[in-house]
Structure 1
Amino acid sequence: MNMRETTDATIRAAEIHTEMVTLRQTILDGASFSSSGHGEADPAIVNLDHYLALRRHDIRLLQRRLMALGLSSMGRLESRVLPTIDAVIHALASLSGVRAEAPAMPEEADFFAGEARLEASTIALFGTTPASRRTRIMVTLPSQAAEGPDLTLDLARAGMDVARINCAHDDPEAWRAMTAFVREAAGVCGRDIKVLMDIAGPKIRTGEVASVDKKPRLQIGDRVRLVANAAPRIDEKVLHSAAVSLPEMVTRLSVGDRLRYDDGKLEAVVESVAAEEAIIVVRRTKSGGTRLKPEKGINLPDTALGLSPLTTKDEADLEMVIECADLIGYSFVSRPEDIDLLDDVLARHGRSDRQLGLIAKIEQPLALTNLPALIARARQRGPFGVMIARGDLAAEIGFERLAEMQEEILWICEAASVPCIWATQVLEDMVKQGIPTRGEMTDAAMAARAECVMLNKGPAVVEAVSLLDRLMGRMNDHVFKKTPTLRALKSW
């Protein structure tokens, strides 16, 4: 490098040094979240606060200027906001010869303290780390898992780390049997396998259906009558009808409100509303139409329902959750107060001797808006994680925004040292048909950036767990969160 190039680099480094010092102070001035009563003693929440303050600014040009000097672009600072900025400022001061007081160069342990916090939080929630991968595998147990130990043992041997029991299905006797078989399988395999019981919440589903067709398949332009407190009714103008699991839903619809059915496979709009029924018109559906069936989910992205996340059924189910589970899956949680509501109900039931971990399922727009406050409140109570419930979330915010939001949730959770679960339709074709698609294999590989990945039930779920175990093991050598890890390549 000649003298002119050296001078140019020195001048640029000095300019960027000034900009970075200003940015650091702007972050400190803008970090009001952790100092307003939200877990101010928790370094993870302080780091989250700094991350939120930073991400209110567009620093893309600054990133490129840093890269041109061979310095960190700050593109992977989620778990270490101030340590990264301080390291960059220190390096810029050395390059530029600036004598102004600079932050001390962070010690290596301090620089990676956020990663250590995340690992500790993950172990507290899910138990010991598997031997060949950091990402745990969660499996939703089918009803037949209550009939005998064989399926659960096969899943455990294939690599299952967490068994999920969906309290929307089966009954307490079945849940107790499933839990016993999980504990037995864990003993046989010599592994710590956690039990997650997922309380259903006010999930809206179709009930009884009626149609002129024996197996109704809805097409664009079809009308469907939704009924609140009566049997489904069809006529010559409306050829399909369905009852709903939450009757008051029908009375709160307005003309023009959108409705999404079966994880977004169909979208309709409300055409008319009467006292106890609403007529919807199908606007979009998959090629060949979508089957109208009972027990399929309904999402209402435009309708304010004002529902509590805990139903009467949930409150009764929590007694069995306390008896059997290690973790509670909390559906439709949207505000910090919802966590207080859950803790109040648990206290009325009487807490077990062990601390139950909490998984907040992020599936509604309000939960996205309140995610930092939810995290700050939940981290105060004990082991906590976030599930990206991609099915309901996509149905609420739209498929186009889902890819973007699932990334942002991962970033926010990493900044707060919160384990994240990548859920819904992972390896769905593999689980159901025994052969994965190329697209879902790529999706599953992306899940290696989360602390846990969830599979649903299906005939080939054991084979899917085994495949996922191998895939996560390979991806473990290539990526940690957003950071590629460069092991030696063997293909060239």
Structure 2
Amino acid sequence: MLDRTLMQSALDIFEELRSDLLAARHGTDRNHPHYRSLLNLRQYLILRSKDWTELQEKLFLLSLSSLGRSYAHVAASVDTLYDQLSSSLGRGEISPEETAAFHHLGIAAAQEMIAQNSRALFGGKGAADAAEQTTAVMVTLPSDAARNGGELIRGLSAAGVNLFRINTAHDDPAVWQGMADVILALNETRPAEETLKIFVDLAGPKIRTGRIRRLKLPVVLGSNKREKTILIRPLPAQTISERTDPNTRARIPGQLALERSLFDKLAEGDVLKVMDINGRHAKVRIMQRDGEGVTGVISKKVAVDESCKVSGGGRKGYVRGCVVQPERIRLFTGDTLRITATDAEGCAAIRDETGKTAVPAQISCTLPAFASYVRPGDRIYIDDGKIGLSVHEVEADGVLCRVTQAKPGGTLLKEEKGINLPDTYLNIPALTPADRENLRAVKHYADMLGLSFCQTDRDVADLQALLQAETCGHIGIVPKIETRHAVFRMPRILEQLLLWERSGVMIARGDLAIETGFENLATIQESLLDLCSAAHLPVIWATQVLESQMKNNLPSRAEITDAAMAGRAECVMLNKGPFAIDTAGALLRILEQVHQSFRKNRQLLRKEMLWSVADAPEDGL
């Protein structure tokens, strides 16, 4: 039986809501190139400026559709629900004249607009029915992607990948061109609706740690957990600590250089005894000899320098070829770190005979006039949040910080690591001179550009102006949302994007999690997805999707759930790794299953505070 009292109560609320939404027409330019998307965006912001939990619960009790899926067609959803309630109470429906005056998109038309914008940016045939959902997959290309005739790119495209990301923060125009040439060659044999797209990521003003001074430090070999393989070379070979190849994530064995007289006598089965700088001994069992290279297995972890003795086969010698390495700066919670914008080299703290810090550790920063942006109490994070700092004192050319977050055993501070300042508004443009130069190198093959460090609508306008000056109006624009201040400015950023023919948004969850707090990322990314849907703009879901599978071909359970959630976006980005083809195939299968069962989620529509004009910080604060 219908609860007429409940229906009347809901209808009264809709009367008020419709009045608010109608007001959005005033001040919205009817001649705007994407007028209806702009109008719907503003109506969505009006909808989210209040708490509609009570109305949502009433609709649920009346078995009516929820407003929690209305973001792409706010006014049409409100009118539909209003008519259902009004008719059930014996009243008339909204007149066609009044509906026409609303200038809103119908529900089906809004869904088609999102699908159309997604196809325009990411390509593909799209869903046969606009109400269905499809999600494209983009993969970041490594430096050697064009090797062997572009074998990797060809394998990825065969697996179903139709977007490829070229990151201008690495390599050079010749390498980027090689990647693009493979993709363009593949497109020559593909139908127009199945052409592969190229996403070129402009690096932006990434803030990083500077150079650390070089010292002739001991080389660490082996492990205390298990035996490890090392390479033994004769002089003049150099020794290196065990490290990781950034392109393949493969382990490179540590190397030990010996004097020629000792090296030449090594044979399979021999055992070398190595004494380290602390007087400990490790044994190296010779496994294989191949020309000028010898492979051995070391029994435990040792630190060696050129004072360390090596013996075996009746001969004795010394470790040789230790290279100059960056000084180890290990930070502990409670330590002090000085960050400077000068070109001074980083160095570890100097301690007195009691162990007390006499001179704090220091690192430089690539941001000019760094000290002018921060205030005491501001938070700073380094290396994806591995090191957390709080500004203690601001000096003329730097800041003194207290370490608030580090591993119990200390965290190593390294060169070229990203710096995040979530409490600090950096009034610097997203486009750097290098970005402008790189754009000219890639403009003839780029389908879309990723605008890194986009914080305001001005950053989008700058790129639009540059593309127009370069007669590149066909290239899509995708601002990367990776700072707290970009989140606050999202409505303005979206309105600026709607002035461009093809555009979308990337939710760069890595930096965004650090900037907004890891515990807040889940709700913020949902809010961003909904807001972009209100503007009918497609979204790229990025950072650490199926990262474990990309590295070792075995995903974690949490990553599978995360990949399924990514199906809410129009595109999902995978990073590079040795199992890229397998990972892309797995992601496409996950997305296909998700889209067979889910589309959008019902929400309670509590008041959204992220884009409240009263709460958003002003530029420059």
TM-score in terms of structure 2 length: 0.71
Identical amino acids, percent of aligned pairs: 37
Matching of residue 21 in structure 1 with residue 37 in structure 2: no
Equivalent in the alignment of 2:511: 392
Alpha carbons of 1:315 and 1:482: their partners in 2 closer, same or farther (altered >3 Å)?
same
The 2-side partners of 1:398 and 1:77 are apart by 28
What amino acid is the match of 2:139? V
Equivalent in the alignment of 2:543: 424
Alpha carbons of 1:235 and 1:117: their partners in 2 closer, same or farther (altered >3 Å)?
same
- Listed one character per residue, the Cα deviations across residues 301-324 of structure 1 (whole Å, up to 9, x for unaligned) are 122332111111111111013122
Question: Residue 34 of structure 2 contacts residue 498 of structure 2 at CA under 8 Å; is this kept in 1?
Answer: no
Counterpart of 2:534 (choices 415, 426, 435) is 415
The 1-side partners of 2:169 and 2:537 are apart by 26
The 1-side partners of 2:186 and 2:386 are apart by 37
Counterpart of 1:221 (choices 312, 328, 334) is 334
Equivalent in the alignment of 1:313: 434
Aligned length: 473
Matching of residue 113 in structure 1 with residue 226 in structure 2: no
Counterpart of 1:230 (choices 332, 340, 344) is 344
What amino acid is the match of 1:351? T
Question: Residue 464 of structure 2 contacts residue 500 of structure 2 at CA under 8 Å; is this kept in 1?
Answer: no
Question: Residue 162 of structure 1 contacts residue 193 of structure 1 at CA under 8 Å; is this kept in 2?
Answer: yes
The Cα shift of 1:215 comes to 5.4
- Listed one character per residue, the Cα deviations across residues 432-480 of structure 1 (whole Å, up to 9, x for unaligned) are 2221111111111100000001111122222211111111111110122
Aligned-CA RMSD value: 2.8
Equivalent in the alignment of 2:229: none
Counterpart of 2:464 (choices 313, 336, 343) is 343
Equivalent in the alignment of 2:147: 147
Secondary structure, counterpart of 1:406 in structure 2: helix
- Listed one character per residue, the Cα deviations across residues 113-145 of structure 1 (whole Å, up to 9, x for unaligned) are 111000000011011246897101111111111
Equivalent in the alignment of 1:277: 398
Equivalent in the alignment of 2:180: 179
Alpha carbons of 1:235 and 1:64: their partners in 2 closer, same or farther (altered >3 Å)?
closer
- Listed one character per residue, the Cα deviations across residues 364-400 of structure 1 (whole Å, up to 9, x for unaligned) are 2232222122212212221110001111112212112
Equivalent in the alignment of 1:264: 385
| Structure 1 residues 76-475: aligned runs within 5 Å | 76-99=69-92, 102-103=94-95, 110-129=106-125, 134-148=134-148, 149-187=150-188, 191-210=194-213, 216-228=329-341, 229-236=343-350, 237=357, 240-285=361-406, 289-348=410-469, 350-352=470-472, 355-475=474-594
Could you say which structure has the higher strand fraction? 2
What amino acid is the match of 1:278? V
Counterpart of 2:600 (choices 476, 481, 490) is 481
- Listed one character per residue, the Cα deviations across residues 12-70 of structure 1 (whole Å, up to 9, x for unaligned) are 323322321222112222x2686268938521111111111111111111111122122
What amino acid is the match of 1:378? L
What amino acid is the match of 2:552? Q
Question: Residue 309 of structure 1 contacts residue 333 of structure 1 at CA under 8 Å; is this kept in 2?
Answer: yes
The Cα shift of 1:347 comes to 3.7
Larger radius of gyration: 2
Alpha carbons of 1:160 and 1:483: their partners in 2 closer, same or farther (altered >3 Å)?
farther
Question: Residue 225 of structure 1 contacts residue 232 of structure 1 at CA under 8 Å; is this kept in 2?
Answer: no
The Cα shift of 1:401 comes to 1.9
Could you say which structure has the higher helix fraction? 1
What amino acid is the match of 1:315? R
Secondary structure, counterpart of 1:245 in structure 2: coil
Could you tell which deviates more after superposition, 42-51 or 365-374?
365-374
TM-score in terms of structure 1 length: 0.88
> Gaps (5+ residues) in structure 1?
485-492
Alpha carbons of 1:54 and 1:305: their partners in 2 closer, same or farther (altered >3 Å)?
closer
Question: Residue 264 of structure 1 contacts residue 394 of structure 1 at CA under 8 Å; is this kept in 2?
Answer: no
The 2-side partners of 1:202 and 1:28 are apart by 41
The 1-side partners of 2:79 and 2:465 are apart by 43
The 2-side partners of 1:369 and 1:32 are apart by 23
The 2-side partners of 1:249 and 1:35 are apart by 40
The Cα shift of 1:325 comes to 0.7
